[in-house]
Amino acid sequence: MPGYIIVGMQWGDEGKGKIVDYLTQEAKVVVRFQGGNNAGHTVVVRGEETVLHLIPSGILHTDTQCIIGNGTVIDPAVLIEELDGLAEAGCEVDGRLGISEAAHVIMPYHKILDGAQERFRGANRIGTTGRGIGPAYADKADRLGIRIGDLLDAETFKRKLKSVLEYKNALLSKSFGEAELDFDSIVEEYQGYADRLRPFACDSVALTHGALQAGKRVVFEGAQGAMLDVDHGTFPYVTSSSTMAGGVFPGAGIGPRNVEAIIGIVKAYTTRVGEGPMPTELTDEVGEALRKHGHEFGATTGRPRRCGWLDVVQLRRAVMVNGMTHMVITKPDVLGVFETIQICTAYTVDGEKTETFPTSLARIESAQPLYEEMPGWNCDISGCRAWEEFPAEAQAYFKRLEELIGVPISIISVGPGREQTVVCVDPFN
């Protein structure tokens, strides 16, 4: 049975965690293929909220195998904290969680460098979460990284750390005025992590292909969103990994023939955390209303999200580079407080109208949105459980999105709970 890729189509925070959890009812394996604990996926089951940063969102299903793939970067302390939290909540993960031996480890110097680099950038800061994600990926590209497999072998870990730490300490002290890190303290701390994580280490590629060959349905869970991709996002205000559907191939070690569908998650309005351009951002009472009614605060950082109307120009670009086959709309219930709703269908850039998302940062920053207005439904739709239960105005809004984006809507999520889900077309069929 083939795999199904779930990716965010905006700037992250689209509701991927809820959708992965919902779809995992029909899947046996969930693989996280990129990113680190800079992502926060929130799952609500029977009113209980669980926020996951590294462990795949399918873990709350007791018969589901979850895999953290080789394309991720792992902070062992955060991962262990998640494991402890799940254990306290009565969620048993032993035998169901695999951690790739090829995934890279976030080290103490990565987090210090992350903060120091942001301070050095000053007004040009990226707005990172400060969790060491970027520096860890940079070390991977520089061939300086330490992987989970290295961590589990004490002598290999010490040898690699000794070599890398000499360079990092020189960089920290001479370039950023930071205190040097102690080799023995890091070894002691990280060998404790190794002992705890050793039972979960695996060849994630072999495990994933074994599931596919056995005919099991596999869901591949992405983190962040399309416009934070290091190649196709609003560079340099992006993350340090490939957030695209195509990132699953190196990040999980599968090939295109293993993929049946690409399920793109689209929030019914637009949000962004951190720095960088966002053409439809609203800084008025409408933007504040979206933030208030949508509870738009980061699951990982707690930072308030920037909010604005839905940007179809940006979405068309995301559809193009991801090859999205199914669209999932989340949080349209938030729009129930508005009498009219705006959809950005084009920009003006340097006085010219365009329906194409610019690749130049300067042109994106100067883009002015052109809106199409639609009547709102002005009521609560969070209790809807079938298409027929939506008011006519909401149905018209959803149909218009399909026309503008060119992809059919498969699922509409009208709240955080599993039960608050309307299936229009089964993405697995």
Residues known to be catalytic = 13, 41
d(CA 228, CA 157): 32
Among 97, 37, 100, smallest CA distance to 70 is for: 100
Burial of 48 (0-12, 13-18, 19+ CB in 10 A): exposed
Q: State whether residue 116 is helix, strand or coil.
A: helix
Contact (CB, 8 A) for 328 and 410: yes
d(CA 183, CA 205): 32
Look-up of token digits 């309005």: 269
Please give the single-letter amino acid code of residue 123.
A
Look-up of token digits 């504040």: 288
* Cα 27 off chain centre by: 20
Identify the sign of the CA torsion 323, 21, 31, 314: positive
Contact (CB, 8 A) for 349 and 287: no
Look-up of token digits 């079938």: 386
d(CA 292, CA 334): 9
d(CA 231, CA 236): 9
Structure tokens at 223: 């983190």
Structure tokens at 123: 């007004």
d(CA 130, CA 113): 9
